[in-house]
Structure 1
């Protein structure tokens, strides 16, 4: 069994909760309050920047040309496919980039980004890849699991957001990441990769929960 499939099965209970989270379900139905979506979009900027930095760190540590090239392509894909869509989205929901930049990231957001960046800074290139995988992979699976809910959705902003993660470009990008992990992780300590993958999966769930509850700093 490929390493990624083993990791996916290990995290199945967490991913099921992600697919059924109220933020996700209401977003796909089109009933999510715009206030919650705007909060999510504001917080997502910090995370997208963090992921681009993570792939740049991966490129700096790559031990062969193929991994270097793929890491740079992943960084570029994250900075274009997702970021281009992000910047278009701001105007549609009445936000400016200045508002986004002036908003402090929430506790969960900072913790998740720091987890990925510390893994990519201190760990091996494969550990770095595994730390980013749940984000890309769950976003590809969420539209597949919740495809029936989309039929009820009449919110064009939410539909456009959803379609980004159903696009050929995004699926190809995520599939490339999955294949890279399978190729390079064959002789790596599986239990170490599992801990990283599970932790990132937990943070994925917590990020949705953060957005749904509009998380604030307690002090």
Structure 2
């Protein structure tokens, strides 16, 4: 069993909790509250900006051109391709994409970004990839799960979103990240592998928290006036 196969097996519980989340289930049913969609896009736009910055840190830590090119290509994928599912959500709620950009991060998204940045700043490429991988991997499996369960057609309101994440290009991106992490893990110590597993597990948990954050329109608590 490869390192990433072990990661997937050890985090089966979180993956299934994500599949069962009401926001994800609502995408399959074509029924998600508009305010939850807006909250998701506001947070995810900033999250993906941070995701690209983490790729940039990984690129700066790369020791060869293959790794530099690898992370450069991943940045381009987010910049040029991952805006399409956002546009599908925007069309659903009838809001221009630009109108949902530049908002402060809700607590769970803020935590997630700082978690990734911590591993980017203090860890090697294995830790960084472990912190990043749950995002594309869970979305790939969400897309495939929704395709299998709901069999959406082109008239489904979220067909572009579902088909994007179930697509072979998304699968290829995830597979490339898995293969790169497997290669790094094979040359890593047990201690380093444990740090990778911890980064991966927490990112899976924060993926679940992100869906909950969006669905409940999570905000920071109001300041408490001392008495």
- TM-score, normalized by the shorter chain, greater than 0.5: yes
Deviation at 1:85, TM superposition (A): 4.3
Written as runs of structure 1 = structure 2, the 5 A alignment for 1:23-38 is 23-38=23-38
CA distance in 2, matches of 1:123, 1:196: 10
2:166 alignment counterpart: 166
Report the CA distance between 1:123 and its aligned residue: 0.9
Q: In the TM superposition, what are the counterparts of 1:26-105 in structure 2 within 5 Å?
A: 26-87=26-87, 89-90=89-90, 93-105=93-105
Using the size of structure 2 for normalisation, the TM-score is 0.89
Give the Cα separation in 1 of the matches to 2:153 and 2:113: 31
Q: CA deviation at 1:103?
A: 2.1
Change (3 A) 1:120 1:60: same
Deviations 1:159-184 (A, max 9, x none): 11111101222111111111111112
Query: Could you say if the C-alpha distance between residues 154 and 81 of structure 1 is closer, same or farther in structure 2, counting changes exceeding 3 Å?
Result: closer
Runs of 5+ consecutive residues of structure 1 not aligned to the other structure: none
Shift of residue 30, structure 1, vs aligned partner? 0.9
Indicate yes or no: 2:205 matched with 1:192: no
Is the deviation greater in 44-53 or in 91-100? 91-100
CA-to-aligned-CA distance 1:118-150 (integer Å, 9 cap, x gap): 211221111111100001100001122233442
The number of aligned residues is: 219
| TM-score, length of structure 1 as denominator length | 0.92
**2: CA distance, partners of 1:213 / 1:153:** 28
1: CA distance, partners of 2:2 / 2:169:
23
Q: Secondary structure at the match of 2:52?
A: helix
Can you list the C-alpha shifts for 1:73-96, whole angstroms capped at 9, x where unaligned?
A: 111112221035435653553323
CA root-mean-square deviation: 2.0
Structure number with greater Rg is 2
Q: Alpha carbons of 1:79 and 1:98: their partners in 2 closer, same or farther (altered >3 Å)?
A: closer
Inter-partner Cα distance in structure 2 for 1:88 and 1:26: 14
- SS at the partner of 2:221? coil
1:207 — aligned with what? 210
